[in-house]
């Protein structure tokens, strides 16, 4: 129940040629407190509710609990969320021994493209594709909960 991931800006759309799938996501936050978030996500008619704890000092790992809910429940819960709904397309891109999830944001966060890679440990080695840019792990303004409050277009 501990998530370990690193987050990077994406410098080009070259990742698209290697993407194995694309998924449209709508998500919102029932709670966007810096010490805990409660996220509702709707993707391809299925829903999820996720609780995340505060990140470690480096911003690499934190508690995460996720549970599947049906699409109707997720749709109803999205109506209760605070801030702006996040919409994005997520691409799964294999590279080396890892899968990068590349989020291309839409709406008030259009123009922002972020890649995440999940790891087993904080110091695990992984190969970095050429389209991977500056690391933003631990920078709160790139957390989706914060993007729902202070969108990319407002920066």
Domains of the chain, earliest start first: 2-154 (2.40.320.10)
pLDDT > 90? residue 155:
yes
What percent of the chain stands above pLDDT 90?
A: 97
Each residue's pLDDT tens digit, 122-150: 999 999 999 999 999 999 999 999 999 99
DSSP conformation class of 142:
G
The pLDDT confidence band at residue 2, using thresholds 50, 70 and 90, is very high
Q: Which comes out higher in pLDDT, residue 8 or 44?
A: 8
Of 155, 115, 153, 147, nearest to 27 by C-alpha is 147
**Does the structure show a pLDDT above 90 at 90?**
yes
Token couple for 139: 């920078």
- pLDDT reported for residue 30: 98
| pLDDT at position 68 | 97
pTM above 0.85, yes or no: yes
Asked if residues 85 and 102 have their Cβ atoms less than 8 Å apart, the reply is: no
pLDDT value at position 46?
96
Helix and strand numbers, DSSP H then E, in the chain: 2, 9
Rounded average pLDDT over 79-95: 97
pLDDT digits (tens, 9 = 90+) for 14-53: 999 999 999 999 999 999 998 999 999 999 999 999 999 9
């Amino acid at each position: 129940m501990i998530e370990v991931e690193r987050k990077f800006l994406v410098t080009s759309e070259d990742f698209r040629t290697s993407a194995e799938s694309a998924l449209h996501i709508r998500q919102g936050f029932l709670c966007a407190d810096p010490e805990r978030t409660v996220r509702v996500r709707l993707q391809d008619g299925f829903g999820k509710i996720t609780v995340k704890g505060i990140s470690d000092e480096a911003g690499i790992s934190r508690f995460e609990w996720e549970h599947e809910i049906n699409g109707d429940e997720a749709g109803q819960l999205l109506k209760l969320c605070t801030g702006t709904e996040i919409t994005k397309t997520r691409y799964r891109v294999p590279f080396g021994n890892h899968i990068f999830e590349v989020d291309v944001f839409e709406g008030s966060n259009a123009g922002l493209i972020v890649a995440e890679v999940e790891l087993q440990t904080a110091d695990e080695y992984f190969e970095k594709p050429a389209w991977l840019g500056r690391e933003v792990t631990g920078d709160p303004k790139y957390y989706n909960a914060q993007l729902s409050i202070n969108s990319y277009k407002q920066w």
